[in-house]
Structure 1
Amino acid sequence: MRKNARTSLSPRGEAVRQYQKQGYEKWKEKHGYGKRWSVEGFFSAVKRCFGETVRAASPQGMIREVKRKFTLYNLVTRI
C-alpha cells in the first residue's frame, strides 16, 4: 500500500486506514486475513476424495451424508 494512498469513507478506505495504522501483522490477526485458503483447500480435498455430489434426496439426508464424508476424511488423514 502506498504511504500517500487516498482513502475515502468506503469500507475499503477504512480497511486501508486500519492497515496503515496497525501494520500488516496486527491487521491480519484482527481480521482473520489469510484463513480462507485453508478452508478452501480442505473442501477441495474432501471433494477430490468423495466427489462433489450427494445422493440423498432430503435436506436432512444431505446434511448427514456430508457430515459422514467430513468425518471419514478426518479419520483417514489422521492415520
Structure 2
Amino acid sequence: MRKNATPSLSPRGEAVREFQKQGYEEWKGDHDYGKRWAVEGFFSAVKRCFGETVRAASPEGMVREVKRKFALYNWAAKM
C-alpha cells in the first residue's frame, strides 16, 4: 500500500485509513492477515497426495472422505 494513498469512502478506503492509523503489525494482528497462505498450502499438499476428486456420491460421503484424507495426511506428516 502506498504511503501517500488517498483513502476514499469505500470499504477499501476505510481499511487504508485503519492501516495508516494502526501501522502494519497491529493491523495485521487485528485482521488475521497473512494466515490464508498456510491454509492454501495445506489444501494444495493434500490434493497433491490424494488428487483433487472424491469418489463418494452423496454430500455426507464426500465430507467423510475428505475428513479421512485430511486425517491421513496429518498422521503421515507426523511420522
Q: Quick one: percent identity of the two aligned structures?
A: 78
Aligned to 2:18: 18
Alignment match, 1:34: 34
The runs of 5 or more residues in structure 1 that have no matched partner are none
CA distance in 2, matches of 1:43, 1:3: 34
Match of 2:59 in 1: 59
Cα deviation code 1:7-56 (max 9, x no counterpart): 11101100100100000000000001111000000000000000000000
- Residue aligned with 1:47, SS: helix
Q: Which runs of 5+ in 2 are unaligned?
A: none
Count, aligned residues: 79
**Alpha-carbon RMSD:** 0.9
User: Which TM-score applies when normalising by structure 2?
Assistant: 0.95
The runs of at least 4 aligned residues of structure 1 exceeding 3 Å deviation read: 1-4
Provide the TM-score with structure 1 as the length reference: 0.95
